[in-house]
Amino acid sequence: MLRWIFFLALFGMIDLYAFQAFKTVVKNNWLLILYWCITVFVIGNFVFHYYGFNRSDGFTQAHAYAFGLLIALLIPKMVLLVIMFGEDVFRVPQAIYRYFTEGDTAKGNYFANRRQFLSKVALGIAAIPLASIIYGMYRGKYNYKVLKYTLSFEDLPEAFDGYKITQISDIHSGSFDNIDKVNYGVDLINLQQSDVILFTGDIVNNSADELKPYVETFSKLKAKDGLFSVLGNHDYGDYISWASKEAKAQNLKDLKDYQKQIGFDLLLNDSRYIEKNGERIALVGVENWGAGGFKKAGDLKKASQHIAKEDFKILMSHDPSHWEREVIHDDYHYHLTFSGHTHGMQFGIEIPGWFKWSPVKWRYKYWAGIYKEMGQYINVNRGFGYLAFPGRVGIWPEITVIELKKAVKEV
């Protein structure tokens, strides 16, 4: 209860400043009433869905939208708070000075009036994150982007020169609310006409039942050399309560069965060879391994036990912290690793090829795109779906296409 009192008090303080800016510019009483109606509705809706909320009971789309609307309301108001409070840094000392120098001549009104120009500027600036968040919830979450890279390797088998790989990750099917948009995303994947499709985990939020309505949709995925997948931390059903251990085990079995129906060859600490014109590359898939309290079911040694050290190796591992902590230091030398997990936090600023930033960089060193360390590459996919916040702002859902090239050895 105390945390809710604190939450409402904090929001009240933020609104104290936000409303001052609004009423300085807007004089229509109906618009002022509308301001409070929207505020009360959004806060009330959030409290209704989250009071007594326990993550183990499951996270619904209603929870997601309650959270999303709160963020859409809170961030712009925090912008107003910063600007209006900044003005008060000057207004308060002026008021104190007038109190001691003007006395009764000021007739008790020692504060200078809010400057309308500054309020207009503040509202204009606050409108930017508001519009961005609303767009992210309405359109951004399905604003699929195809990101293409070419990576060269001296020891790539000749037969695989020009080999194309499409990676998708973090589908989170339980979050989807528009099957037509998901179908569009699947068509866009197939349009790349890659040789193989790799999925790097988190096909659901919690339960295998979330995937059932989308089995037919994802069954449309096609690639000449097949579809391969691994599990992510959300796929094990660890974040919700189950009636019994048997029910949880059955859920994981059902999820594996659904993946098989789609056409995925699920690699559970296992490997496969992809052969072409008498040459081959090794594809290795580990179960989830994540630093910072995440499940560590991945076993790199077990997954690679049937391949040779000299093979050209591609690894699928859901969490990029695995690459940082174990993979790049392994003497097997995994040429290219595919990961996901971070979603790029679904929020950030990105100008492709020039600049990218997201708060998630403070949690993950490798959080989006291509990185190279110790002669090995990783691609961290930003995710196909979304989780918790029902949208994406600046960090769009991603379909990665990587073409492998045979590099000429330097003499």
Regarding whether 115 and 167 lie in a shared domain, the answer is: no
- What share of the chain in percent tops pLDDT 90? 77
Q: Which two tokens stand for residue 100?
A: 């001691």
Average pLDDT of the segment spanning 207-215: 97
State pLDDT tens for residues 120-156.
888 999 999 999 999 999 999 999 999 999 999 999 9
In a domain? residue 82: yes
State pLDDT tens for residues 233-265.
999 999 999 999 999 999 999 999 999 999 999
Region at 268 (left for phi over 0; alpha for psi -120 to 50; beta for the rest): beta
Regarding whether 132 and 163 lie in a shared domain, the answer is: no
pLDDT of 50 > 50? The answer is: yes
* CB 154 within 8 Å of CB 361: no
Regarding whether 56 and 80 lie in a shared domain, the answer is: yes
pLDDT of 107 > 60? The answer is: no
d(CA 385, CA 117): 41
In a domain? residue 343: yes
Regarding whether 163 and 308 lie in a shared domain, the answer is: yes
pTM equals 0.91
Q: In the block, which residue shows the tokens 């589908």?
A: 171
Of 116, 138, 160, the last residue of a domain is: 138
Of 112, 138, 164, the last residue of a domain is: 138
Band the pLDDT of 118: cuts 50, 70, 90: confident
Question: What is the pLDDT, as a whole number, of residue 114?
Answer: 55
In a domain? residue 192: yes
pLDDT of 7 > 50? The answer is: yes
Q: What is the CATH number of the domain that holds 345?
A: 3.60.21.10
Regarding whether 106 and 226 lie in a shared domain, the answer is: no
d(CA 211, CA 213): 6
Q: Which domain holds residue 214?
A: 143-406
More confident residue, 390 or 104: 390
Regarding whether 111 and 31 lie in a shared domain, the answer is: yes
pLDDT of 105 > 60? The answer is: no
Regarding whether 320 and 183 lie in a shared domain, the answer is: yes
User: SS3 letters for 213-226?
Assistant: HHHHHHCCCCCCCC
The gap from C-alpha 325 to its chain's centroid, in whole angstroms, comes to 22
Average pLDDT of the segment spanning 386-403: 97
In a domain? residue 333: yes
Regarding whether 378 and 262 lie in a shared domain, the answer is: yes
Mean pLDDT of the chain: 92
In a domain? residue 411: no
pLDDT of 89 > 80? The answer is: no
Regarding whether 218 and 185 lie in a shared domain, the answer is: yes
Band the pLDDT of 215: cuts 50, 70, 90: very high
Regarding whether 164 and 55 lie in a shared domain, the answer is: no
Band the pLDDT of 204: cuts 50, 70, 90: very high
Question: What is the pLDDT, as a whole number, of residue 411?
Answer: 55
Band the pLDDT of 103: cuts 50, 70, 90: low
Band the pLDDT of 218: cuts 50, 70, 90: very high
Please provide residue 84's backbone torsions phi and psi, each rounded to the nearest 5 degrees.
-65, -40
Band the pLDDT of 410: cuts 50, 70, 90: low
d(CA 11, CA 32): 18
Regarding whether 217 and 162 lie in a shared domain, the answer is: yes
Regarding whether 21 and 92 lie in a shared domain, the answer is: yes
More confident residue, 19 or 370: 370
The structural domain count of the chain equals 2
d(CA 227, CA 65): 33
- Rg of the Cα atoms in the chain: 26
